[in-house]
């Protein structure tokens, strides 16, 4: 029994609900993805080339996007590339960033999350993901 049974089941459920098929490539990519905290399509392409030299980059992109739709991954634009975060690896969180020393504090605030939902609903949107980053000075750098 795999350590990641919950995620494997979640994906299979998503596949079933959407008339999608369980392929060797999807299983291979899922297996590799669940071992990561976050990865780019390109990095996964090179990593999996050892196991299957014919696995196409387009398939990696398609499958990582599928994971996003199934709720297993979350895409984040980071610099010029897209990072696919493993949602199961760490819960959702946002960031406080010190612009002076670069210190990063992770936080989670349910009230903010709820207000975000309200704002979205008021504008007819359904939120899939979000990004909240607070930039400023940490206590040490303020003095």
Q: Is residue 139 a contact residue for a copy of itself (CB under 8 A)?
A: yes
Alpha carbon of residue 105 to chain centroid? 19
Among 2, 9, 23, 109, contact with a copy of itself (rule: CB under 8 A): 109
Q: Is residue 5 a contact residue for a copy of itself (CB under 8 A)?
A: no
Place of tokens 């994971």: 67
Q: Is residue 81 a contact residue for a copy of itself (CB under 8 A)?
A: no
Token pair for residue 94?
């946002």
Q: Tell me how crowded residue 97 is: count the other CB atoms within 10 A of its CB.
A: 15
DSSP H helices, 49-102, are 57-69
Instruction: Supply the minimum distance, in Å, between the C-beta of residue 29 and DNA.
Output: 8
Place of tokens 């990063």: 104
Among Mn ion, a copy of itself, DNA, none, the one that 63 touches (CB under a kind-dependent 5 to 8 A) is DNA
Binding to DNA in span 58-77, by CB under 7 A: 58-59, 61-63, 65, 77
Instruction: Supply the minimum distance, in Å, between the C-beta of residue 39 and a copy of itself.
Output: 19
Instruction: Supply the minimum distance, in Å, between the C-beta of residue 28 and Mn ion.
Output: 31
The nearer residue to Zn ion, 2 or 99, going by C-beta atoms, is 99
Distance CA 72, CA 8 (A): 9
Cβ distance 84 to 77 under 8 Å?
no
Q: Tell me how crowded residue 45 is: count the other CB atoms within 10 A of its CB.
A: 18
Q: Is residue 100 a contact residue for Zn ion (CB under 5 A)?
A: yes
List residues near DNA by CB under 7 A.
15, 19-26, 40-42, 52, 54-59, 61-63, 65, 77, 80-82
């Amino acid at each position: 029994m795999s350590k990641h049974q919950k995620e494997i089941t979640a994906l299979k459920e998503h596949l079933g609900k959407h008339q999608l098929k369980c392929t060797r490539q999807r299983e291979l990519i899922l297996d590799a993805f669940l071992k990561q905290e976050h990865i780019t399509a390109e990095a996964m392409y090179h990593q999996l080339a050892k196991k299957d030299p014919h696995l196409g980059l387009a398939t990696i992109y398609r499958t990582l996007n599928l994971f996003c739709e199934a709720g297993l991954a979350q895409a984040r634009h980071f610099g010029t590339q897209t990072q696919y975060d493993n949602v199961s690896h760490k819960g959702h969180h946002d960031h406080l960033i010190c612009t002076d020393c670069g210190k990063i504090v992770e936080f989670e605030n349910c009230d903010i999350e709820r207000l975000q939902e309200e704002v979205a609903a008021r504008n007819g949107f359904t939120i899939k993901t979000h990004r909240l980053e607070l930039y400023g000075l940490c206590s040490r750098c303020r003095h």
